[in-house]
Amino acid sequence: MIELEGIEKTYTRGEVVTRVLQGLSFEVEAGEYVAIMGASGTGKSTLMNILGCLDKPTAGHYRLDGTDMVQLEDEALSELRNHKIGFVFQQFHLLQRTTARKNVLLPLIYAEDYPENAEEMAEAALEMVGLHDRIDYRPNQLSGGQQQRVAIARALITNPAVLLADEPTGNLDRRSGAEVMAIFQQLHADGRTVILVTHDLELAEHAERVIVLEDGQIAEDRPVAKPRDAEHELATLTSVQEVDE
Amino acid sequence: MRLFHVAGEGWEALWANKLRTCFMMAGTLVGIAALTVIMTIGKGTERQVMRRVENFGPRAMMLVAGGGRATGPPDAQITTLTLADMEAIREQIPGLEIVTPQAWATRAQLTRGSAQTRATLWGVEPEWHAAWDWYVADGEGITDEDVATMARVCVIGSSVKRELFGDEDPIGERLYVNKVSLTVTGVLEPRGSAGTGGGDFDNRILLPITTAMRRVLNVDHIGAVRMITTDARRMPEQAEAITGLMRRRHGIRPPAEDDFRINSPLAVAEVVRGTSRTLSILLMVLAALSLFVGGVVLMNILLISVAERTPEIGLRRALGAKRGDIFTQFLTESLSVTFLGMVLGSGLGAGVALAIRQLTSLPVILSWEPFAVGIAFALLVGLFFGVQPARRAARLHPVEALR
């Protein structure tokens, strides 16, 4: 599904050459749930941009679902992102002035063909993330967790090959974070490929495999013996809250 | 379909920021309004020029006593234009089909019993009718015999008939001009009030020229010579020849001022155009300024908007928008704003034009042309000033934009 082979990324500012990624190679199978972990400055964001086809590596090959994105022009990369990748960002990146429904529909505008049943698709996606009663709310009428769930619905609407989440709980409280993580686990259970980029080990251990980056190289690539169960955490959080109250 | 959706994103941005949209639109609106007013006045003026030229006669020239002004009636103080001058033109200037003299008096007092009125009096020869293409509706025109015998007859305009005779048949009836009794032999076709001076063309009375000069006015000079050329293209050359002839005969050497002038359709047109020219030039400056300043404002607001919405652009790129989609979205904003400004500006312009028609004497004609020109200008402004911001937005790198 995802094959990285000798990925390098080098930035040149004047005479200073920074080698952010220094020859990464790994594969992710379809249906896997992988966390990419690393402290800031380890090349995590750069790798995330490359995985998301937002940026090209300086050297190496990256095959996504059989396509080597390194060969592609800007226009074809846009199409690839539209078809194959669902993004979930730390800052949600919703359009503020428009409804949840229209936010979810946004990727379809840029698809080859605008599906006839787009409205139903958007409603189904919002229902999947538990927001069927918030379809026509604007982002400022929603909580942070709800906004992130709209963003997840938006990421899913094109039925992408891979869901790419960058610190998706970074701006959320514990409970909302757990809700988001529970959704990811559910998506994984349904057979979706999920890549979670985070600096937080606890969060990373919700995945079934953790790749740790250090200084632009893979320091560790290990399976998680017993992934954390977000549903369970959510239940715990709820009962603790109930006790508090 | 895709284009429609992408354009829709631009429209939503306009709708969501109405005040901003108004600012973006203002210049185009004012500019197109001014343009519309210019064009409606221009069209009205040209229609008026055509009508005046048609009235004056497209192949006609007038040698008129008194220099200075471009049009208008002869100067009554000037007594130097004579029948001999007219004869000289007849003999010496080639290519003139008709050369006919007109003696003249303004506001002549006409009486019939207790009814009286004032009208312009013209002493003419029979050729006057052909020279003005203006014949009698009733009775007979001025004849050679009338001129030869100094007959006490007259032909009256329809306004004079109405004033003095009402519904009666005036043919064969008598009226008095300066205590001279004249028999009405004919009534002229009505012509309305579209004279070069703007007065009532039908408020006139024609006498045989001999009767007018000897019996009524007691003068030796004439007011004007009416000429019809065989070929309108020769007019400038003929006018020059007549000017030379008159200067010689009247002993005038430039820089001394001429005591005559020559009116032609061109001069008539000039006068009509002159009245609306100043306003048109002012409006032209306003239109050009508004469109340019408005365009610059539009461009700057869009550039600010691109900067403000950089993360949004990054997001769209991440979700699969191509550079072309982003370009289209921002150009749609620009073009839609100018188009909207055009529609509102055309409406405003039409309203102002109608107000001008109500409040002034300027000729104004509404038509589709200002609308077409407005669309062209609005789209031009939208394109010219929208391309730069749209291009800047499209060139943003998704990674940089999302940061």
B310/B203 same-domain check: no
The values of phi and psi at residue A25, to 5°, are -135, 125
Q: Looking at the predicted structure, is the pLDDT value of residue B182 above 70?
A: yes
- Encode B249-301 in three state secondary structure: HHCCCCCCCCCEEEECHHHHHHHHHHHHHHHHHHHHHHHHHHHHHHHHHHHHH
Rounded mean pLDDT, A42-67: 93
Rounded mean pLDDT, A21-30: 94
Instruction: Determine the angle formed by the axes of helices A144-156 and A100-109, rounding to 10 degrees.
Output: 30
- Residue B90 domain flag: yes
CA B50/CA B171 separation, integer angstroms = 34
Residues of A in contact with B316 (CB under 8 A): 106, 110
Cβ separation of B12 and A97 shorter than 8 Å? yes
The values of phi and psi at residue B362, to 5°, are -65, 135
CA B320/CA B266 separation, integer angstroms = 65
Q: Which of B8, B16, B323 sits opposite A97 (nearest CB)?
A: B16
A82 touches chain B (CB under 8 A): yes
Instruction: Work out the minimum CA distance from B316 to partner chain A, whole angstroms.
Output: 8
B188/B80 same-domain check: yes
- Residue B260 domain flag: no
Instruction: Return the structure tokens found at A169.
Output: 């709980």
Instruction: Work out the minimum CA distance from B295 to partner chain A, whole angstroms.
Output: 26
Delimit the domains of chain A by residue range. Answer: 2-244
Rounded mean pLDDT, A166-174: 93
Q: Looking at the predicted structure, is the pLDDT value of residue A239 above 80?
A: no
- Chain B residue with CA closest to A99: the answer is B12
Cβ separation of B2 and A114 shorter than 8 Å? yes
pLDDT in tens, A65-93: 888 999 999 999 999 999 999 999 999 99
Instruction: Work out the minimum CA distance from B303 to partner chain A, whole angstroms.
Output: 19
Cβ separation of A114 and B325 shorter than 8 Å? no
Cβ separation of B399 and A107 shorter than 8 Å? no
Mean pLDDT estimate for chain A: 92
**% of chain B with per-residue pLDDT over 70:** 97
Rounded mean pLDDT, B168-176: 93
* Helix intervals (H) in B17-114: 18-56, 83-92
Instruction: Determine the angle formed by the axes of helices B265-308 and B369-395, rounding to 10 degrees.
Output: 30
- Residue B181 domain flag: yes
B195/B277 same-domain check: no
Name the least confident of B161-175, B187-201, B357-371: B187-201
The values of phi and psi at residue A126, to 5°, are -70, -35
pLDDT in tens, B42-58: 888 888 888 888 888 88
Element of type H or E holding A124 = helix A118-128
Cβ separation of B399 and A74 shorter than 8 Å? no
ipTM of model: 0.93
pLDDT at B9 (0 to 100):
87
CA B401/CA B303 separation, integer angstroms = 15
pLDDT at A26 (0 to 100):
95
Give the three-class secondary structure for B117. Answer: strand
pLDDT at B331 (0 to 100):
94
Give the three-class secondary structure for A112. Answer: coil
Cβ–Cβ < 8 Å for B213, B127 = no
State the pLDDT confidence band at B196, using cuts at 50, 70 and 90. very low
Mean pLDDT estimate for chain B: 90
CA A231/CA A237 separation, integer angstroms = 10
Q: Looking at the predicted structure, is the pLDDT value of residue A245 above 50?
A: no
Judge if the upstream peptide bond of residue B255 is cis by omega within 30 degrees of 0.
yes
B33/B89 same-domain check: no
B182/B74 same-domain check: yes
Cβ–Cβ < 8 Å for A236, A178 = no
> In chain A, how long is the greatest CA-to-CA distance?
60
CA A175/CA B111 separation, integer angstroms = 109
Rounded mean pLDDT, A201-227: 93
Dihedral over alpha carbons A77, A80, A84, A88 (to 10 degrees)? 40
CA A209/CA A220 separation, integer angstroms = 10
Cβ–Cβ < 8 Å for A68, A76 = no
Q: Which of B1, B315, B322 sits opposite A78 (nearest CB)?
A: B322
Rounded mean pLDDT, B193-219: 83
B300/B339 same-domain check: yes
Name the least confident of B80-84, B268-272, B301-305: B268-272
Residues 41-80 of A with CB under 8 A from B: 49, 52, 54-55, 74-75, 78-79
Locus of tokens 């550039």: B303
Residues 84-113 of A with CB under 8 A from B: 87, 89, 91, 93, 95, 97-98, 106-107, 109-111, 113
Cβ separation of A109 and B398 shorter than 8 Å? no
Instruction: Work out the minimum CA distance from A51 to partner chain B, whole angstroms.
Output: 12
Locus of tokens 């394109």: B383
CA A82/CA A107 separation, integer angstroms = 7
Name the least confident of A149-153, B265-269, B391-395: B265-269
Which of A111, A147, A112, A143 lies closest to A129 in space, CA to CA?
Answer: A147
Cβ neighbours for B28, distance < 8 A, ≥ 6 positions apart: B290, B291, B294, B295, B298, B337, B338, B341, B342, B345, B378, B381, B382
pLDDT at A242 (0 to 100):
54
B14/B101 same-domain check: no
Cβ separation of B318 and A52 shorter than 8 Å? yes
Name the least confident of A216-230, B68-82, B99-113: B68-82
B149/B172 same-domain check: yes
How distant, in Å, are the alpha carbons of B48, B109, B110, B129, B137 from that of B189? 21, 22, 19, 11, 5
Instruction: Return the structure tokens found at B113.
Output: 């019993």
Give the three-class secondary structure for B127. Answer: helix
Q: Looking at the predicted structure, is the pLDDT value of residue B145 above 70?
A: yes
Which residue type is seen at B18? K
B146/B96 same-domain check: yes
Name the least confident of A27-36, B249-258, B274-283, B372-381: B274-283
Name the least confident of A91-100, B7-16, B126-135: B7-16
- Residue B259 domain flag: no
Instruction: Work out the minimum CA distance from B313 to partner chain A, whole angstroms.
Output: 10
Between strands A193-198 and A33-37, the pairing is parallel
B26/B162 same-domain check: no
Instruction: Return the structure tokens found at A175.
Output: 């409970």
Provide Rg for chain B, Cα atoms: 32
Q: Which CATH superfamily is domain A2-244 in?
A: P-loop containing nucleotide triphosphate hydrolases (3.40.50.300)
A119 touches chain B (CB under 8 A): no
- Residue B12 domain flag: yes
Q: Looking at the predicted structure, is the pLDDT value of residue A165 above 90?
A: yes
Cβ–Cβ < 8 Å for A43, A213 = yes
Q: Looking at the predicted structure, is the pLDDT value of residue A207 above 70?
A: yes
Output the CA angle B273-B275-B278, nearest 5 degrees: 95
Number of structural domains, chain B? Answer: 2
B83/B223 same-domain check: yes
Cβ separation of B319 and A95 shorter than 8 Å? no
Question: Containing domain of residue B326, as a range?
Answer: 2-51+270-402
Q: Which residues of B touch A (CB under 8 A)?
A: 1-2, 5-6, 8-9, 12, 16, 311-312, 314-325, 397-399, 402
Rounded mean pLDDT, B170-192: 92
Instruction: Return the structure tokens found at B281.
Output: 């030039």
Q: Looking at the predicted structure, is the pLDDT value of residue B1 above 70?
A: no
Cβ separation of B399 and A49 shorter than 8 Å? yes
DSSP 8-state code for residue B212 = I
> In chain B, how long is the greatest CA-to-CA distance?
106
Cβ separation of A106 and B12 shorter than 8 Å? no
State the pLDDT confidence band at B267, using cuts at 50, 70 and 90. confident
B82/B153 same-domain check: yes
pLDDT at B71 (0 to 100):
61
Give the torsion sign (CA, A207, A122, A104, B1): positive
